[in-house]
Amino acid sequence: MTPPSAASARTGPPPPVESRPGGPATKGTASGVATVPARPRRRRLRPPRAATLARAVAALAAGAGLYLAFPPVGAWPLAPVAVAALTLLVRGRRLPSAYRIAFLFGLGFFLPLLRFVSFVGDDALYALAIGEAAILAVVGPATVLALRLRAGYAWAAVACVWVGQEALRGRAPFGGFPWGRLAFSQPDGPYTPLAAVAGAPAMTFAVAATGALLALTLHTLVTTGRAALAAHLRVPDVTTPPTAVPVAVPTQRPGDGDTDRLPAAGRHRRALALGAALPAAGIAALAAAGLAVPLPTAPQDGTLRVAAIQGDVPEPGGLDALGEKFQVTRNHVDETLRLAADVAAGRTPRPDLVVWPENSSDVDPFVDRRAAALLDEAARAIGVPVMLGAVLDGPGAGHVRNAGLVWTADGWAGQLYVKHNPVPFAEYLPGRAILQKVITRFATEMPSDFVHGTGPAVLPAAGTTIGDVICFEVAYDGNVRASVDQGARLIVVQTNNASFGRKGESQQQLAMTRIRAVEHGRATIQVSTSGQSAIITPDGTVLAQTGLYEPGILSAELPLRTGRTLADRVGAIPEAVATALAAAAIMTGIATGRRRPRPAGQIPSGAGHPGPGATPRDTPAPRAGHRPDGRGPERSGVDAHRVVVCVPTYNERENLTRTALRLREANPTVDLLVIDDNSPDGTGQIADELAREDAQIHVLHRAGKSGLGSAYVAGFSWALRHGYDVIVEMDADGSHQPEELPRLLARLNTADLVIGSRWVRGGQVRNWPRSRLVLSRGANLYVRAALGIPTRDATAGYRAYRAEVLRARDLDAIQSQGYCFQVDLAWTAWRGGFRVAEVPITFVERERGASKMSRSIIIEAFWRTALWALVSGRRGPAPRPVPATPVSVPAPATEPALVAATAATPPTQPTKPTIATGGIAINGSAASPAPASAATGGATTNAATLPARDDPSLAP
């Protein structure tokens, strides 16, 4: 290529100009040179670069390594190693590249792990493996973003990403397929006891955290070791950025010889030691935490002797493994008769309960008398109840049920458990009408759909309660937990592995069963038609097990336990928290990647003159002292402004009167505006009575409940149109203390928005349950991480605005409702360059009435915050706006113009002027006696006589 300087120095005529491919040739050009038609150029497929190919091979190998951590190989230490390998492979890559690498990792993992599915057809294996790998691959770009955090947080963020990925894969699509979770590779590892603390998500977190710490260790050792080697050899490190400080190399003095050392050597040794020691300490701490968890196994409700029957099947794998009708049932009857003979001969103790596997009655015993006769024969011979699995017809044509039931010598005991989670494309066909036409073999191989059960997940048998889990349900956290929550003393996993052959499915399922035993502190039996069946103690120890494709009888005395583990109590909360933290880490990583350097004009100023980039901590607090007139600084803050407190209400009749009286008594110069959403309990009428008795109380009636945000917007618009200097938000339920309002107003001396914060030093929360504390803390951490706003309590609803903060915002354009409204206004004020400060308050939970918090409010706050973070790129505040002309505040479409009272009514008969426009009407309680009335809307609003500084357009 010719450099630009050389090209510009050429002389003579320009080279011939080629026409576009396929275009007509031109006779000549301005310079008289004929053009030549261009030949179409073929794009050659370039072979992948060696580095790209090596990275792809490494990803496939790492996925295969993760497979080896699972049974039947069971090399469980390879699981964190595989996570570490993937973390290093995607580190620093672009997000699409990271996704491709993780997808190859997923293929290397799922293709061998799920090979037992190939009995249906290789296309089924490939489709399932590719689909699962595509979901697992989100770990790649998510890990890249998580690694943008500080190293102290990045390892935990990567672990949360793995938990979140498994939560997604276990629920979508079609109910999810959680096979291959990291936790299920660890039935014999040091992290197994963590299942009793927070379930399988805790084990996944520990495994992934170990892998992330290993990756951090290797990365630190390599980079630091390279720098140390370069310093030792006195060679500049090519990986050091140009702006880095070069390593000082002293001049060697004669006689120093090989004992000379560089000044940087000590630092490098220390970095190498810390790079290896700190992650190693973290890994040791995780392992120690797991080993320290107690796993009690003692009986709490007596014991039960259980016998598990594995009757075997005619063929070892494939679609025809179950053979002809009644063969499987006959096999299990024969093994039960053998057990009865051993009991009669005294060779085996009589069991209290016999359990058969899934599909052990391969014909519906409620329809076929021969099947019922076989079950009667077995139950009478052994003399105890038999818990079995059966495929039952109906309800309706084309439907069957995969059920567990108890059969006694007198027949069916009367209760069923129908499998809650049938497997899509194996037990039922989503979109059958379409798929049956595309893949014709579905019509013959899957003629019926298994229905989803909805009843209890337990069965009463042998004087106790048995938790019933059928086959793949053991992989789903909720199914096993539901049975324990419903009183199960013992867990039975009924499964049919006959069609899967010797390809690891049964061993993988047994690993899951062992982890479930630990998670719920219950003795557990896995009973299979063809193996492996096993009896497991509450600490995950296998007492006895059978081989594959061989008949067998297992018998043991098992403890019945009633206690619930911590994992049972917390349920899905740990998984939800880890997923939310993963989402926050991802958004922070996105914002970190898009963050731009702060312009010089936005650098925070000195402490005495806070600039537009100043945080609440940078903003100086007002100096203590007293005015010459004897009033303290907080009291003077109230008196120095024209203040209105906006209090939205809906069904607050029990709280409004006390809140209003406390506010007026503590702050006599402050006005109160009650914004009532047509409360059914009469709150609006109480507000009207208060307004009649106090001229500084005003009431704004709205047509109906429209949300907290729209209520405040209506109140703000009203206050701005009536010339208030400061507008305050406060709840009506008594949670905000009116006596603390002077503290907020005094802080306005150096701020534009003051938030009464529960989470700064000195702030308190009283009478809140732990769930609300965790929710509020977590929500504010999420907002702070996602948006970068330097506030501790962005969701707080006790705050004071200077009027210019609200005038700078288009109030009619605000869409957020609920408590997300508070985040919206605080964040936009901070980004707009206004000074935001926080002062501590004491928040007291309401004593009367019901809280308005709901799931929809939480969901709205979560997705809106995420959307704002993505759109804004987490950019900091802009220079504070200085409008050249005052910003007009238009009245909302639903708020009428206020009309002052005329002087027509005698003072002895005061009436309230009523105006209704667009759904809001205003009634003024005035000293002047004339009525004014106009009907143009729907609701009413009461207000006292307005101050002289009201909008001139409101004059009568």
**Residues tagged active-site:** 358, 419, 471
CA atoms in the 13 A half-sphere facing the CB of 500: 25
Separation of alpha carbons 190 and 192, rounded Å: 6
Separation of alpha carbons 535 and 550, rounded Å: 16
Are 652 and 645 contacting, i.e. CB atoms less than 8 angstroms apart?
no
Are 398 and 447 contacting, i.e. CB atoms less than 8 angstroms apart?
yes
As a whole number of Å, the end-to-end CA separation of the chain is 82
Are 938 and 921 contacting, i.e. CB atoms less than 8 angstroms apart?
yes
The residues with which 417 forms a beta bridge, in sequence order, are 404
Separation of alpha carbons 892 and 810, rounded Å: 11
Separation of alpha carbons 621 and 835, rounded Å: 12
Backbone angles phi, psi at 160, to 5 degrees: -65, -35
Separation of alpha carbons 284 and 294, rounded Å: 18
Interhelix angle 195-232/477-485, nearest 10 degrees: 140
Separation of alpha carbons 282 and 185, rounded Å: 21
CA 882 to chain centre: 40
The residues with which 424 forms a beta bridge, in sequence order, are 428
Find the radius of gyration of the CA atoms of the chain.
Answer: 37
Backbone angles phi, psi at 417, to 5 degrees: -120, 120
In the chain, % helix, strand, coil (3-state, to 5) comes to 40, 15, 45
DSSP state of 879: P
Q: For 728-782, what is the HEC assignment?
A: EECCCCCCCCHHHHHHHHHHCCCCCEEEEECCCCCCEEECCCHHHHHHHHHHHHH
Who's near 554: CB < 8 A, 6+ residues apart? Answer: 307, 308, 310, 525, 533, 534, 535, 544, 545, 546
Structure tokens at 90: 């995607």
